């Protein structure tokens, strides 16, 4: 039961030598920084063409700041305040100050000693600072190449998925409620497995979708550790009429997006299925307000992806794209990028840190949280016992019925059967970080779990 009183366990951090957090801070994060520096080097001519010698100077200064950042990280220097004066800088600096207060001094808030969730988010905000401090390349997306390439390499999978959606649409009038549920279940799984395509875990190496996302569902089924599809379906389809949306019956879905390219397509397909079958009447997509965790969706990625699908010469992909663009135009779909999603806070702090966002989410009938980072923030990225309930780990966060759709890429997992986590650890030590396993985990704050 969620009321079980329990000590909040410590945060994952790199101070545990050999832990996934340690290996991430020691190896993967510096690698990501090095790739960012290489990307800036490789685009030197482009900056010159576009901005002349000012562009070259800006590129050089940015690289200098990023090299300094990498050195701070690799030598475990103290975390330092942001200096770019962006609207969120003060929140970040207050957050840092809070850590310094609780640790007692500035020295002990550092890359290998502080919570992994904090320092990893902070790294991406420092990358943003390096760009922001160097106009005219301030709004250059250092991760754009990787996201674009990953999308273009996933085109076969996009084609089969859009064709699959088209088939469903053709026969939707004849589908029974049970058949609708089966398609919902499949598209929910396609969306959760789409989360494997993440360029942060691969440190930028190609991670595009090579296999047919629908055909592989059966073989992947055993690796879904928690599957709450049925209770999600009944939350979506119970009570309110299926009819056309008069205000009371209108049902709203919020999708807190994760990665661009193929994963974004799986989310757009799921949203389209729910709208065209009349189960959902409005979808709000939540992305990041600046480039984040290498492959996370920004406004530019979101609109570029829809324009790309419209322009593709494959008839079903372009038909989907045209439909999606019309949903945006009609306001049935909308894109939002609240600054909170690119702050370091655990979600149990949202109501205090971003009351406007928390209130907005309270108007949703279901909030889907995609990916591993969102799961880490939902549960606070802590050493929870694997068998404690998801509700307990949420520690009061619950603006609306919510569902986490994540492949496991960080060693936090709750809501398992007693002994299940230990069994997995004995058989596969890296079960929480290999992205081989996934959860479709639901929590309804309005009802006892």
Ligand X SMILES: O=P(O)(O)OC[C@@]1(O)O[C@H](CO)[C@@H](O)[C@@H]1O
Q: How far is the CB of 202 from Mn ion (least distance, A)?
A: 11
- Asked if residues 78 and 163 have their Cβ atoms less than 8 Å apart, the reply is no
Q: Which two tokens stand for residue 249?
A: 């019956």
The correct pick among 59, 228, 258, 346 for binding Mn ion (CB under 5 A) is 258
Three-class SS state of 370: strand
Output phi, psi for 205, to 5 deg: -65, 150
Residues 257-296 touching ligand X, rule: CB under 6 A, are 258-259, 293
Mark 406-425 with x for binding to ligand X (rule: CB under 6 A) and - for no binding. Answer: ---xx---------------
Return d(Cα 395, Cα 376) in angstroms, integer.
Answer: 13
Per-residue tokens: 189 = 């799984």
Binding mask 291-320 for ligand X (x = CB under 6 A): --x---------------------------
- Cα angle 223-229-230, degrees, rounded to a multiple of 5: 130
Q: Tell me which of ligand X, Mn ion, none is bound by residue 24, counting a contact when its beta carbon lies within the kind-specific cut-off of 5 to 8 angstroms.
A: ligand X
Least distance (Å) between residue 368 CB and ligand X:
13
Considering only residues 11, 150, 200, 229, which one is a binding residue for ligand X as defined by CB under 6 A? 200
Residue the block writes with tokens 């902070």: 122
Any idea what DSSP says for residue 343?
S
Tell me whether residue 258 or residue 346 sits nearer to Mn ion (CB atom): 258
Cβ–Cβ < 8 Å for 185, 271: no
Using CB under 6 A as the binding rule, whether residue 195 contacts ligand X is answered as: yes
Cα–Cα distance measured from residue 146 to residue 113, given in angstroms and rounded to the nearest whole number: 30
How far, in Å, CA of 107 to CA of 96, rounded?
A: 12
x/- mask, Mn ion, residues 266-305, rule CB under 5 A, reads ---------------------------x--x---------
Binding segment for ligand X (CB under 6 A), chosen from 65-73, 183-191, 193-201, 239-247, is 193-201
- Please state whether the peptide bond connecting residue 136 to the residue before it is cis, i.e. omega within 30 degrees of 0: yes
By CB under 6 A, name the binding residues for ligand X.
24, 28, 120, 195, 198, 200-201, 258-259, 293, 371-373, 376, 409-410
Give the residues lining the site for Mn ion (CB under 5 A).
258-259, 293, 296
């Amino acid at each position: 039961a969620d009321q079980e009183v329990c000590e909040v366990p410590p945060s994952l951090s790199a101070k545990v030598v050999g832990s996934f957090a340690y290996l991430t801070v020691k190896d993967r994060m510096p690698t990501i920084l090095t790739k960012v520096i290489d990307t800036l080097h490789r685009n030197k001519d482009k900056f010159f063409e576009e901005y002349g010698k000012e562009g070259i100077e800006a590129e050089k200064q940015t690289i200098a700041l990023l090299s300094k950042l990498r050195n701070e990280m690799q030598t475990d220097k103290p975390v330092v305040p942001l200096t770019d004066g962006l609207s969120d800088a003060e929140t970040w600096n207050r957050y840092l100050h809070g850590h310094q207060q609780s640790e007692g001094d500035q020295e002990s808030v550092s890359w290998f000693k502080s919570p992994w969730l904090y320092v990893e988010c902070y790294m991406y905000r420092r990358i943003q600072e390096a760009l922001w401090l160097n106009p005219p390349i301030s709004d250059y997306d250092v991760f754009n190449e990787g996201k674009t390439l990953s999308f273009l390499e996933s085109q076969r999978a996009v084609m089969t998925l859009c064709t699959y959606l088209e088939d469903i649409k053709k026969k939707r009038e004849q589908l029974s409620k049970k058949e609708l549920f089966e398609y919902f279940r499949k598209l929910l799984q396609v969306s959760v497995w789409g989360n494997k395509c993440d360029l942060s875990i691969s440190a930028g190496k190609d991670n595009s979708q090579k296999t047919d996302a629908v055909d592989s569902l059966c073989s992947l089924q055993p690796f879904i550790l928690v599957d709450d599809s049925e209770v999600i379906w009944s939350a979506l389809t119970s009570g309110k009429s299926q009819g056309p949306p008069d205000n009371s019956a209108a049902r709203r879905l919020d999708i807190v997006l994760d990665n661009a390219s193929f994963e974004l397509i799986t989310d757009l397909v799921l949203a389209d299925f729910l709208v065209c079958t009349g189960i959902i009447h409005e979808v709000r997509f939540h992305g990041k307000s600046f480039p984040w965790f290498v492959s996370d969706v920004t406004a530019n990625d979101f609109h570029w992806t829809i324009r790309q699908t419209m322009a593709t010469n494959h008839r079903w992909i372009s038909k989907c794209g045209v439909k999606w663009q019309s949903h945006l135009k009609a306001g049935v779909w909308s894109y939002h990028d609240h600054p909170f999603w690119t702050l370091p806070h655990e979600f149990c702090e949202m109501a205090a840190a971003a009351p406007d966002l928390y209130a907005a989410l309270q108007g949703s009938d279901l909030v889907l949280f995609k990916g591993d980072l969102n799961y880490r923030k939902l549960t606070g990225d802590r050493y929870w016992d694997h068998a404690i309930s998801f509700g307990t780990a949420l520690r009061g966060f619950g603006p609306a019925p919510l569902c986490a759709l994540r492949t496991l890429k960080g060693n936090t997992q709750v809501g398992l059967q007693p002994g299940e986590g230990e069994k997995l650890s004995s058989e596969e030590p890296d079960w929480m970080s290999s992205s081989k396993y996934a959860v479709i985990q639901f929590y309804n704050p309005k009802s006892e779990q």
